[in-house]
Amino acid sequence: MNSIDNTVFIGKVLFSLERIASTNLYALDLLDEEKPIEGTIVVAHDQYAGRGQVNKHWESEPGKNLTCSIILYPDFLPARQQFVLSQIVALSIADTLRSFIPDGVKIKWPNDLYIFDKKITGTLIQNALQGSTIKSTVIGIGLNVNQINFISAAPNPTSIYLETNKVVDLHIVLTKFCQSLEKWYLKLKAGKVEEIQTAYFNQLFRRNEIHSYRRPDGRIFSGRIQGTNAIGQLVVATEEGEELFSLKEIGYVL
């Protein structure tokens, strides 16, 4: 793949690799060896050991999907606000998907993208902290583009092809994502956090709808998602009142 057009800095340095275990691991190794230019991207044709949140494996057929990682240095952002990075990544992927799929694109907390009730992306963000700020971040994206068959135990996968019946050029998808990420990242750098949070809330999967959820002990309960708080916990109105949930503390019943 070539470097990205029509951006200021994201994607101007691009490592395009044939087969590696994980683009995030490769990017983290780059950070250990040197300080790559901000916006450096690692793209893999075949990522055979990619993972998502809570160490879940991310299935991706070689050559069919976008698997990449982006290196950023958001040292202007306090560590206590690191969830806003998840928000801008989710918003950037949502923008990208709407270029191909006009309806049904929603952000499933914290940063997965759904087309109606089907999952189309996984994201893994790894931050390195220095004192009270974020020294660096590696944003790993797995976006299902042209894959048709999924063999993992994931219950509800989809792809751009399955939603549109059209094969899409992976470099076009990457370009649109980089352009959108740069837009949202510059908004964050300019301190427009409220604008970001509002946009995220407006696109949140199941926002203000009553649905069933699962607690870690298996109990099912009804709740209404009301948004997220400053540290990224999910705010849900339940029969017991307003509750806050961190990752792995709530399961979606689809």
For residue 177, give the nearest of 37, 103, 66 by alpha carbon. Answer: 66
Q: Residue 60: what pLDDT?
A: 86
131 burial type by CB count under 10 A (0-12 exposed, 13-18 middle, 19+ buried): exposed
Residue 169, C-beta contacts closer than 8 angstroms, at least 6 positions apart: none
Percentage of the chain exceeding pLDDT 70: 96
pLDDT at 110: 96
Element (H, E) at 17: strand 14-20
* Predicted local distance difference test score (pLDDT) of residue 155: 74
Q: What percent of the chain has pLDDT over 90?
A: 90
Q: Which tens digit of pLDDT belongs to each residue from 123-149?
A: 999 999 999 999 999 999 999 999 999
pLDDT (tens digit per residue) in 23-58: 999 999 999 999 999 999 999 999 988 665 545 666
Residue 59 has, within 13 A of its CA and on its CB side, a CA count of 16
pLDDT at 154 over 80: no
- pLDDT confidence of residue 218: 96
Residue 2 has pLDDT above 90, yes or no: no
Res. 19: pLDDT tops 60:
yes
pLDDT, averaged across the chain = 94
What's residue 48's pLDDT?
87
Mean pLDDT of 152-172: 92
Q: Which pTM was predicted?
A: 0.94
The pLDDT-based confidence of 235 (bands split at 50, 70, 90) is very high
Average pLDDT over residues 12-17: 97
Which tokens hold the place of 215?
């607690």
Mean per-residue pLDDT for 149-177? 93
For 81-97, write each residue's pLDDT tens digit.
Answer: 999 999 999 999 999 99
Q: Residue 77 contacts by C-beta under 8 Å, 6 or more apart in sequence?
A: 84, 85, 133, 134, 188
What pLDDT does residue 56 have?
61
Q: Which helix (H) or strand (E) holds 251?
A: strand 251-252
